[in-house]
Structure formats: C-alpha cells, structure tokens
C-alpha cells in the first residue's frame, strides 16, 4: 500500500510540473487600450520597437525602467518563447517580441508606458 501511495504522489508531482511548464507566462486583461497582455500580478506588458525578434535591445539602465518579464522555464503555449538576454538571464517573448513591465505603472491596468519614447514602447496585445 505504501508503494502505491508513493507512486501516486510521484505521478501527481510529475503532472503538476508538466502543467506548470505548459502554462502561459501571461494572460489577457481589458485596459483603456483594449485587450492587452498582463503578468501574473495584472501589470501591463509592453514591447519595444528597437528589439529584434528573439533579441532584447533594452539592457542596463533601460531594464531598470522596463523590467523584463523573467522566464524560469522553457517555451509554453503556441506563440511564447524564451529570449536569453545580454546578462544571461531569460525573458519571455510573445510572437518573438520580448516582454517588459514599466516601473512607473503603479497598479494593474495602468498603461502609462504606452507610446513612451516617441512611440517606441507599446502595450503588448494578443
């Protein structure tokens, strides 16, 4: 009986781990800019026009104002990928575009970074 319990516990743990890896790193929410991608805390996600597909151009001081959406695992659902940043850390990307939050957004639903730097920053949309 103990062997069955241990086997069952191992199976549940494995299924949970697989589900966590397959989970999307962001969700959608309605903001004043329409449907946008948000992180687990509901903070708006942004893309940067100077980024190339799969490569972040926002490093150093830029990343202090625009924190990257950190990735801890591999790719999830269709459209999601992981970008390796210049410092070696991993960042989520959607459709090849690295994702960021904005340090000046104070609460979920804020979109104060949209249009920043003459339109270089935009809310990420699904």
The DSSP result for 69-117, as a single string, is -B--SS--STTEEEEE-TTS-EEEEETTEE-B--TT--STT--TTTTHH
Q: What is the per-residue pLDDT across 41-98, written as a single tens digit (0 to 9) for each?
A: 999 999 999 999 889 999 999 999 999 999 986 656 678 999 999 999 999 999 999 9
pTM recorded for the entire structure:
0.80
Residue 29 has pLDDT above 60, yes or no: yes
* 3 state DSSP class of 110: coil
């Amino acid at each position: 009986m103990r062997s069955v319990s241990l086997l069952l516990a191992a199976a549940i743990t494995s299924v949970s781990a697989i589900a966590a890896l397959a989970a999307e790193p962001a969700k959608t929410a309605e903001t004043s800019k329409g449907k946008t991608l948000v992180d687990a805390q509901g903070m708006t996600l942004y893309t940067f026009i100077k980024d190339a597909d799969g490569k972040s151009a926002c490093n150093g001081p830029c990343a202090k104002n625009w924190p990257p959406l950190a990735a801890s695992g591999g790719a999830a659902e269709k459209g999601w990928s992981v970008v390796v940043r210049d410092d070696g850390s991993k960042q989520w990307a959607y459709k090849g575009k690295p994702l960021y939050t904005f340090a000046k957004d104070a609460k979920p639903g804020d979109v104060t970074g949209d249009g920043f730097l003459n339109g270089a920053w935009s809310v990420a949309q699904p």
